[in-house]
């Protein structure tokens, strides 16, 4: 099972590293630089607001389906037929709730129009994720890997033409609405292609209305729904609170967006691990296979990536932000340092939270997520008025750290993992060595690219010397 995980992870990472970093650092960054800070700040706040009620689109069905199909492949056709209808009903509820809430908190007609399109995009994106969960549940990871980057590939083509194809000028500047419309187009094309693939795999020829089935699915998936809802709130509420609480909220939201962009790119990598791990963990647990080796392997890889990224971000924050952006560089750099430290905790959650989800420990996870949401909102209310975007970043760091620690301790208790003190010592020694290396590299080398390359090579060497990832065991998995 580790061999399957590594092979498919390599393909998934290759495709996503080719496409998504260019999307985030090329296209999305270019859009932010092409429009005013206030305009992008509003877009970013609305984008995050469209996430808040996202669970009404899905109601936990995607995670439930991913686990269920992995354990019961024969149910694909039956479940697909009913769930497609159910998701359409949920989409109507989501759109009404999102727009009504937006109206009640004071969005004007232009903002509501933009929010409507973004909400529709959320429906399309959520539906693609559901369709992909069927592919992952069937362990069709190669097909899922290609679908995972399809929408971004189409968006890159459309936005590149709008940004650099001679469409814009001083008289006809780039409009943020164009960015939203390009996402809609890309999602629609991706859904058509993915629907065709999934329907063929399921041998589905018609959809069926089944009220009893709807109620059964909602009953089984609601614990997943609550978990996703709570985690969405404490991951996405920051930008909304910044924009609504402060006089210069749009600018502060734009600063937060600049800093968050690289964390978002890094999170995509960690999210890919979770997407692969959930069906694999689910099947291993059902077959009563031991999961400790895969947990350690996946955590070790993610920890090396996340901690390396965080250390580079902390030491080279100003240089990185100055290279990417034109506005609010110093403010974004400070926020960036804190947010990238969150990546270590988020990556931990993607491993241990996924394991607990696969094991069905949703009640405890929901209590944890509810506590995290309340903690994050309380910290935001306390810190935003004085520290603005920096206050939101600090709130995220504290919340993510607390929830990650809880999940590690709870998973250790449930699965009876032995506390591996030499391994923990190796992790701490890696952090210390990596930080010292980054600190002195920053002093002695002025070129940012060269400094990052030196740090990256050194970090890989430290990981090998400390045997954080057991490469000898890893290579053994590939022997025939």
Is 205 inside a domain boundary? yes
**What percent of the chain has pLDDT above 90?**
26
Q: Looking at the domain assignment, is residue 279 inside a domain?
A: yes
Would you place residue 395 in the very low, low, confident or very high pLDDT band (cuts 50, 70, 90)? very high
The answer, yes or no, to whether residue 291 has pLDDT greater than 90, is no
The Cα–Cα gap between 370 and 367 comes to 5
Residue 32 inside a domain? The answer is: yes
206-215, 418-427, 455-464: range with lowest mean pLDDT: 206-215
Q: Average pLDDT for residues 46-53, to the nearest whole number? A: 83
User: Residue 373: what pLDDT?
Assistant: 86
**Assigned domain for 434 exists:** no
Overall average pLDDT of the 455-474 stretch: 82
* DSSP code string of 326-385: SSSHHHHHHHHHHHHHHHHHHHHHHHHHHHHHHTT-HHHHHHHHHHHHHHHHHHHHHHHH
Of the candidate ranges 236-250, 296-310, 388-402, 442-456, the one whose mean pLDDT is the lowest = 236-250
Residues 6+ apart with CB under 8 A from 146: 15
Does 443 reside within a domain?
Answer: no
Q: Say how many domains are in the chain.
A: 1
Band the pLDDT of 478: cuts 50, 70, 90. very low
Distance CA 62, CA 83 (A): 10
In a domain, 444, yes or no: no
User: What H or E segment, with its residue span, contains residue 198?
Assistant: helix 176-202
pLDDT at 206: 59
Q: Is residue 463 part of a domain?
A: no
Phi, psi dihedral angles at 208 (to 5 degrees): -125, 135
Asked if residue 251 has pLDDT above 90, the reply is: no
Kindly report the pTM of this predicted structure.
0.70
Question: Is residue 455 a part of any domain in this protein?
Answer: no
Whether pLDDT at 347 is above 70: yes
Q: Mean pLDDT throughout 397-409? A: 93
Higher pLDDT, 379 or 89: 379
Which structural domain, as residue segments, surrounds residue 83? Answer: 2-418
Mean pLDDT across the stretch 17-41? 79
């Amino acid at each position: 099972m580790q061999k399957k995980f590594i092979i498919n992870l390599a393909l998934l990472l290759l495709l996503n590293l080719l496409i998504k970093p260019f999307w985030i650092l090329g296209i999305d960054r270019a859009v932010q630089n092409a429009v005013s800070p206030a305009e992008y700040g509003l877009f970013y706040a609305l984008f995050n607001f469209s996430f808040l009620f996202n669970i009404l689109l899905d109601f936990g069905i995607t995670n439930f389906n991913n686990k269920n199909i992995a354990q019961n492949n024969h149910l694909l056709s039956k479940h697909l037929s009913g769930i497609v209808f159910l998701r359409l009903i949920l989409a109507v509820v989501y759109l009404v709730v999102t727009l009504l809430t937006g109206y009640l908190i004071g969005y004007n007609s232009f903002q509501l129009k933009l929010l409507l399109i973004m909400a529709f995009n959320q429906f399309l994106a959520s539906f693609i994720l559901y369709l992909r969960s069927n592919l992952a549940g069937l362990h069709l990871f190669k097909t899922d890997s290609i679908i995972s980057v399809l929408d971004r590939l189409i968006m890159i083509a459309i936005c590149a033409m709008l940004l650099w194809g001679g469409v814009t000028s001083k008289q006809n500047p780039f409009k943020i609405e164009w960015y939203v419309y390009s996402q809609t187009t890309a999602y629609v094309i991706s859904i058509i292609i993915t629907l065709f693939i999934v329907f063929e795999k399921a041998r589905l020829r018609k959809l069926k209305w089944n009220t009893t089935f709807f109620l059964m699915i909602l009953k089984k998936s609601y614990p997943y729904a609550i978990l996703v809802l709570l985690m969405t709130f404490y991951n996405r509420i920051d930008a909304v609170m910044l924009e609504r609480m402060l006089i210069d909220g749009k600018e502060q939201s734009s600063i937060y967006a600049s800093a968050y962009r690289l964390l978002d790119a890094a999170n995509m990598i960690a999210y890919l691990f979770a997407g692969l791990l959930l069906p694999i963990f689910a099947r291993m647990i059902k077959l009563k296979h031991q999961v400790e080796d895969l947990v350690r392997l996946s955590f070790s890889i993610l920890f090396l990536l996340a901690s390396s990224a965080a250390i580079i971000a902390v030491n080279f924050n100003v240089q990185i932000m100055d290279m990417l952006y034109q506005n609010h560089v110093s403010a974004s750099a400070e926020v960036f340092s804190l947010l990238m430290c969150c990546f270590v905790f988020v990556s931990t959650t993607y491993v241990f939270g996924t394991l607990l989800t696969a094991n069905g420990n949703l009640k405890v996870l929901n209590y944890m997520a509810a506590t995290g949401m309340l903690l994050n909102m309380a910290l935001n209310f306390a810190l935003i008025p004085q520290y603005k975007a920096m206050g939101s970043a600090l709130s995220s760091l504290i919340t993510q750290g607390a929830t990650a620690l809880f999940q590690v301790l709870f998973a250790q208790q449930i699965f009876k993992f032995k506390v591996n003190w030499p391994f923990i010592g190796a992790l701490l020694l890696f952090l210390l060595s990596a930080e010292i290396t980054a600190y002195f590299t920053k002093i002695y080398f002025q070129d940012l690219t060269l400094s990052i390359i030196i740090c990256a090579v050194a970090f890989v060497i430290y990981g090998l010397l400390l045997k954080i990832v057991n490469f000898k065991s890893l290579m053994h998995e590939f022997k025939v």
